């Protein structure tokens, strides 16, 4: 089944048509700048232009940077606060005219890795951390997701919120060297390990391509590996999520 997968990020909104049977991109990936401020209207217009540029009229899956409960956004750390309480799936469906399914961006990136990537067939607890404007997390036990974990917002023992200390955005803004940022990120992973004892930690987002630059700073016991799909995991997982929901409603694809 082919589905348009869209990843809404702090700096870019990316979309590609995905073959959900194999988790691979079909054709090109398009990326548009994230609007500022990222209001429902402006994000909706950007999503609509991605749909139009792909000449797409089928189901759309969206990975969105907020806790999403039954299609409704509950948080807004790096997007406009007017998203809170908005039924985002319905909102983007009206805007695009397509059936739209929305889930948390890190959860869907994790789904891609669990189904087809670094977490495939891994027994036990897998923690996926996406490193970008925020720190996103997805927590799986034997392949089952506990949604909306939002563990990028925990307060570390230095009194700082993790995503304000160890995100990609902080590394950029403070121009930290990879090793120095790696120490911060390791501080975060150590805190995660003490709480969840994952069997595997998978890193997604832009920094996952640079793991070799900070791997020497990582001291957790769990193996830490880059996402197989690197920063494309969000788009792929968004399509997989939509495919699973679409299948569950028993609707036939056009
Ligand atoms: C948001 C999460 C999101 C993460 C990565 C955090 O600020 O609260 O919902 O998954 O950023 O985008």
Q: How confident is the model over 64-88, as a mean pLDDT?
A: 96
pLDDT tens profile 102-134: 999 999 999 999 999 999 999 999 999 999 999
Q: How confident is the model over 36-57, as a mean pLDDT?
A: 97
Q: What's the pLDDT score for residue 254?
A: 35
134 ligand 1 Cβ < 6 A: yes
Residues belonging to the chain? 254
User: Closest by alpha carbon to 147, among 138, 159, 156?
Assistant: 138
> Ligand 1: which of 13, 65, 76, 81 to mutate, judged by most atoms within 8 Å of the beta carbon?
65
In the chain, which residues fall in CATH 3.30.420.40? 2-107+232-248, 121-227
139 ligand 1 Cβ < 6 A: no
Q: What is the pTM of this model?
A: 0.96
β-sheet bridge partners, residue 212: none
CATH code 1.10.3720.10 for 121-227: no
Angle formed at CA 174 by CA 168 and CA 206, multiple of 5 degrees: 15
CATH code 3.40.50.300 for 2-107+232-248: no
Q: What's the pLDDT score for residue 247?
A: 74
Question: 98 versus 249: which is more confidently predicted?
Answer: 98
User: Closest by alpha carbon to 89, among 69, 71, 65?
Assistant: 71
Distance between CA atoms of residues 94 and 67, nearest Å: 21
Which structure tokens are listed for 202?
Answer: 């998978």
């Amino acid at each position: 089944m082919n589905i348009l997968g869209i990843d809404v990020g702090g700096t870019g909104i990316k979309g590609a048509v995905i073959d959900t049977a194999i988790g691979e991109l079909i054709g090109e990936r398009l990326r548009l700048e994230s609007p500022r401020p990222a209001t429902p209207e402006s994000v909706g217009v950007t999503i609509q232009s991605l749909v139009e540029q792909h000449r797409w009229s089928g189901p759309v899956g969206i990975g969105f940077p907020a806790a999403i409960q039954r299609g409704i956004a509950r948080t807004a750390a790096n997007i406009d606060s007017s998203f809170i309480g908005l039924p985002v799936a319905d909102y983007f469906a009206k805007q695009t005219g397509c059936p739209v399914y929305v889930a948390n961006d890190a959860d869907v990136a994790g789904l891609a890795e669990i189904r087809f990537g670094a977490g495939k067939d891994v027994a036990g607890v897998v923690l996926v951390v996406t490193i970008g404007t925020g720190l996103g997390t997805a927590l799986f036990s034997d392949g089952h997701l506990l949604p909306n974990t939002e563990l990028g917002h925990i307060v570390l023992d230095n009194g700082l919120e993790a995503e304000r200390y160890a995100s990609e955005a902080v590394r950029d803004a403070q121009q930290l060297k990879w090793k120095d940022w790696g120490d911060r990120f390791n501080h975060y992973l150590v805190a995660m390990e003490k709480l969840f004892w994952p069997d595997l930690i998978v890193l997604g987002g832009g920094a996952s391509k640079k793991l070799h630059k900070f791997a020497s700073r990582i001291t957790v016991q769990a193996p830490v590996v880059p996402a197989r799909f690197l920063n494309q995991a969000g788009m792929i997982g968004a399509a997989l999520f939509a495919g699973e929901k679409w299948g569950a409603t028993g609707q036939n694809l056009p």
